[in-house]
Structures are given as structure tokens and as C-alpha cells.
Amino acid sequence: MQFIMLKFWALVPSSLIRILGLAGLFSLGGCSGNWGWYVVNPATETGRQNLAFLIDGLYYTIGLSVTAICISICLGLLVALPALSNRRAPKAINRIYVELVRAIPILVLILWVYYGLPQVASLSISVFWAGVLALAISDSAFQAEIFRAGIQSIDRGQYEASHSISLNYRDTMRYVILPQAIKRILPALGNQLVYMLKMSSLVSVIGMQELTRRANELVVTEYRPLEIYTVLVLEYLVVILIVSAGVRWLERRLETN
Amino acid sequence: MSQPATQPFIQVRDVSKYFAQFCALDAVSLDIELGQKLVICGPSGSGKSTLIRCISRLERHEAGKIWIDGIVVDDSPTGRAVLRNNVGMVFQQFNLFPHLTILENLMLGPVRARKMAETEARDLAMHYLERVRIPEQFSKYPAQLSGGQQQRVAIARALCMAPKIMLFDEPTSALDPEMIAEVLDVIEELADSGITMICVTHEMGFARQVADIMLFMDHGKIVEMGPPKTFFTAPESDRCKLFLSQILRH
């Protein structure tokens, strides 16, 4: 048993252990035992209220991310299709869109959509939809690249077989190519969903009441950043682990088909 | 290029096809009557696959014209329609849809392209699965079948579209030796049923059995053409003689 333990520790670089140890020492020393878990202690009334306030943000974080990823998948597919054309013009449109959108930082896009778009298009846009739009546009460029790679990985013979049984372009894509492509790109789509959940925290800057914004607001009133942000970390961790497990389950299900 | 008064079912006139600088088809002309069985052989790169791929418009030829049933095969709606209604194709690599069951593979064309009712398409599919002798496999996925079974499914899939002419592109080249016979048997039966057929193959025993006309191609040209009797016993060109001697030696 001892031998096994020794072997395990041998695998971890000793420098890493030292750094982690020092960091732990400093962080604990820094608050000198002053962890104030009472702010989020479910045994007390205020603790319960604070926790409920924090966790209620989940509704927005998930709503925002899921709506955004649904839109970005549709948008990404629309942008990916011209890239598969043999002609130059559709390919150029795809390239320009992807390069342009990929070059804009998400935070900048969120600010631009919320503060800039209403002036340009003279329409009022809610915080939620501004966030959804910015996240969806930003993600669509990546989705487009994922779809393009997935569709291009399908054997040419599948198109030829579809042609030989007289399927048109739409039916070929819908019934033959996309079902196979989506199965292949599912892990990448899962990654994008996780990425989107994390990036949704940026929408807090325009006042969206999601997880991060609520944590920030609570810190301002309670002055316990360490505990509140630790809860925030755990919230993201739990959501993302559940999503990851869900994606893996879906992959396995599709594989057995 | 006007069309002759009496028209064969398929007419190929001066068709040329280039892949970059390489000339795959060099002004090929050919007539096929309804019900005829044509077997094409030749060394690899001779243009035999390209020829039938041009007829089914998987490749676009640069020069010349192809008529099927008197209609020019091109990208016009009538050109597409004549292909859709007349031509079925079987590939070397089967090209079944791996994410669909055998039955779904067979039903997809009739239901989506022909707008047939699902129950009717199912009956049709089962009918052709019985004809290729694997009705019991209908609920499986292609990966669960042997190569020979997959190719028979591919033949059934093409037949479900009720084509007047079937094109076979080396249907047994990707198969293990012991599975070749079961596929050739099915194709032979099909030939006996009177369907028009063009088959690219190196199976000379099968060719002798089935072909009305043998065709030998080399360097994108038709070098020799004739009934199997004279083709196998007294070929005119030296190139064809050499090819046959090499292929028949084993």
C-alpha cells in the first residue's frame, strides 16, 4: 500500500506540489482564518436568502447559453454551407464572415450590440437578447468551422450514392450528410456549449442578472468576495460537469446506433 | 450535332473528359439499345469508370453529348429528369448510408425523391431485398453485413428507383473472393430479367455469361468492341490480345 502511495506521488512533479503548498499557505494566511461562510450558510436565514439569490442566476445563465447556442448552430450551419460550394463567391462570403467575427473579442461584441446596435438600427434591445445575439454571433464563426470540417469529412461516395437515387441537394444534406456529420462533430459541439456557458459570465457587464452579476452584487453588499466567488466557481463547475456528462451520454447513445 | 432519326436508348457521341491535363475520355462514341448488356473491361486508368460516371452525370464531360431516351443529359430540368427516371448506379465501395438501416437505405430514394407513401416504399424495398436474397437483414445497419451482402443491398437500393438501365462500376472489386459469386449471381439474374445494363468489371467468366457486347478500353478510347464470342476468341487489336492473355491466364 505504502509502495503504491509512493508511486502515486512520484507522478506529480515536486515543484508543482511546492507551488500549490505555498499558494495555499498564503491564501489561508492572507485571510488569517477569517473564512466567513456565514454569508452563504444554508442554516441561517440570510445565508439561505443569499444562496437563493446566487443560485437564481442559473436560470439566466442557462437560458442565455442554450438560446445562444441554438441560434449559433443554425447560423453556423448557414455560414458553413457556402464554404462547401465549388464557386469562388460563396466561399469568399464564408471566409470573410468567419475571419471578421473571430477577430472581435466577445466582450467587445457584447458592448457593441447592447450600446451600439440600438443607435445604428434604431431599435431597443433587452439585455437578455443583446447577450444572446452577441454570444450567438461570436460563436457562429466557430460553429461554421466545426460544421465545415464535419461535412467535409463525409466520404464523396455518400454524395454520389444520394445523386444516384435522385435525392436533391436539400434532401441529401438533410437525410444523408448532416446526420453523419453531426454525429462526428458532437464532441466539438459539446465543447462549444461549455465554452458558451463560461462566456455568458461576460454578459454581466451590461447588467444581465446571471450567476456572475449576482455574485458581484452580493459581494458589494456583503463584503465577502472569497466565499461568494467560491460559491460562484462551484456553481459553474457543477453546471459544466453535468453538461459534459450529458454530451458524453449522447455520444455513447449515438455510437450504439 | 443532330440526332439520328432512329435512336438507340443511350447514345454517346464524341464525349471527352479531362482531369487537369490527363485525358480520361477521348472522343468516345457508343450506342446502347434497350435491353442490351454491355460489359466494359480494360486496364486501370483506361477511362471505363469515367465513361459510366459521365453517363450517370457523376462527372461532367467537357466535349460531346450523351442522350438517354432521346434527351440530352445535362444540368437542365429535362436532363436531370431523364437521369432520375432511368438510371441506377452501383458503386465499387457500395456507398450505403451507414447511419440508416437496410430498409431505410432502400426506402430513402422512393420516399424522398419519388414521393412514394412509406408503406408502399416498404413493400417495394422488401420485394427487392427478397430478390437479392437477404430479406431477413432488413433491420440491420450496413456495418453489420458482409461485403457481399452490402453490395446486394446496394443493388436492391438502385432497383427500388425502377431504373431502365443499371450501371455497375466494378461491383466486385472491393469484395473478398468468396463473396464475389453471390453478387455476380444477383447481377446475372437481373440481366436475365431484361434490364439494360452497363457493367465495368474484370470478371471475365461473368462477362462471357452475361454480355451481349464486350468493350475494351485503353487510354480513354474504345479499342475493341464486339460480341463476346469473337471478343474472347479472336480479338483484333494487339492491345486487347495482351490484356486478355494477362487477365485470363489465372
User: If you average pLDDT over residues A129-144, what whole number do you get?
Assistant: 95
User: If you average pLDDT over residues A221-231, what whole number do you get?
Assistant: 91
On whether any CB of chain B is under 8 Å from the CB of A172, the answer is: no
Does the beta-carbon distance from B161 to A168 stay under 8 Å?
no
User: If you average pLDDT over residues A92-97, what whole number do you get?
Assistant: 94
CATH of B10-248, one of 3.40.50.300, 3.30.428.10, 3.30.930.10, 3.40.640.10: 3.40.50.300
Minimum distance, in Å, between the CA of residue B132 and any CA atom of chain A = 18
* Chain B residue closest in CA terms to A163: B58
Sort out which chain B residues have CB atoms less than 8 A from A179's CB and list them. 99
Interface confidence (ipTM) of the complex: 0.92
Per-residue burial over A113-150, b = 16 or more CB atoms within 10 Å of its CB, e = otherwise: bbeebeeeeeeebebbebbbbbbbbbbbbbbbbbbbeb
Minimum distance, in Å, between the CA of residue A140 and any CA atom of chain B = 26
- Cβ atoms of residues B56 and B167 within 8 Å: yes
Q: If pLDDT is split at 50, 70 and 90, which confidence band does A29 have?
A: very low
CATH no. of A39-256 = 1.10.3720.10
The shortest CB-CB distance from A175 to any of B84, B96, B112 is to B112
Q: Of A206, A185, A178, A215, give the one whose Cα is nearest residue A81.
A: A178
| 3-class state of residue A226 by DSSP | helix
pLDDT of residue A26: 54
Q: Specify which residues B196 forms β-bridges with.
A: B165
pLDDT of residue A32: 47
Mean pLDDT of chain B: 92
Q: Where are the domains of chain A?
A: 39-256
CB pairs under 8 A, 24+ apart, for A30-36?
A31/A226, A35/A226, A35/A227, A36/A224, A36/A226, A36/A227
On whether any CB of chain A is under 8 Å from the CB of B95, the answer is: yes
User: If you average pLDDT over residues A162-167, what whole number do you get?
Assistant: 94
On whether any CB of chain A is under 8 Å from the CB of B96, the answer is: yes
Minimum distance, in Å, between the CA of residue B158 and any CA atom of chain A = 7
pLDDT of residue A9: 53
Give percent of chain B above pLDDT 90.
Answer: 81
B41-99 pLDDT, tens digit per residue, is 999 889 999 999 999 999 999 999 999 999 999 989 999 899 988 999 999 999 999 99
A60-81 pLDDT, tens digit per residue, is 999 999 999 999 999 999 999 9
Minimum distance, in Å, between the CA of residue B161 and any CA atom of chain A = 7
Q: Specify which residues A64 forms β-bridges with.
A: none
As a whole number of angstroms, the distance between CA B35 and CA B164 comes to 9
As a whole number of angstroms, the distance between CA B129 and CA B104 comes to 12
